[in-house]
Amino acid sequence: MRLKDKVTIITGGGHGLGKAYARRFAGEGAQVVIADVDGAAGEAVAEELNRAGHAGWARTTDVTEYDSIEGLMAGTLERFGRIDVLLNNAAIYVTQKMWMGRVEDCPLDEWDRVLEVNLKGVFMCCRAAIPVMKRQKSGKIINIASGTFLNGTSNMPHYTSSKGGVVALTRVMARQLGDWNINVNCMTPGSTMSEEVVTEDVRKRRADSAGRRAFKRVEVPEDVTGTALFLASADSDFMTGQLLVVEGGGIIH
């Protein structure tokens, strides 16, 4: 029960790794708020947690709309009275039909779409949560980046740039928020088999990633959630501004 009664917001918590974080945090005693643009998926995760005897609540949230984010924070405060952890997981990735190609061919609207969700969405969620955490003089912000920031990629310039921006933003906020006892850290899951529907393309992508790792197997959500739990718990209280790479040795950082 490392997160007993800690009020935790997880964006993109209705699917994939977001759902895995929600399950792990709830199992450790957290009161979990599932914020997802797919309201039905978020409700399904909350109901699952509640049936298991945990505390789950869903709020339909679009991280590209600041009014929606403010509604999330206000609703969380009204229901639980505080915000202890914000896990910024919502993002656009290749499994959501993201454009892939060269920088000079990247459509301008596609660049804006990915940066708006993956970087601006993180910024706006932090912007809305920070005043609450400052009043509490405590809080944990966990941002999800990507190993593409460290290695670079040959076909995802907008995605890679967005995740590099998340790392930079994490470091800035860590410097700014230490006086209020707010921890801001970042982690990079590897290519993780977290989809509800596994296509042949997804299976091949995961297998290719596994072959480049020190641990030559496909990464699964259980390989990732423990690191998020560490960053959310008291075990990381004297750690801020850091980037943890959870890729099985695919990247040695």
| Beta bridge partners of residue 59, listed in sequence order | 35
159 among known catalytic residues: yes
Q: How far is CA 92 from CA 82, 146, 153, in A?
A: 28, 12, 16
Backbone torsions φ then ψ of 19, nearest 5 degrees:
-65, -40
Q: What is the DSSP letter of 3?
A: T
| Beta bridge partners of residue 121, listed in sequence order | none
Contacts of 207 (CB under 8 A, 6+ apart): 218
CB count, 10 Å around CB of 199? 10
HEC per residue, 130-193: HHHHHHHCCEEEEEECCCHHHHCCCCCHHHHHHHHHHHHHHHHHHHHHHHHCEEEEEEEECCEC
21, 66, 93, 159: the active-site residue: 159
Known catalytic residues are 159
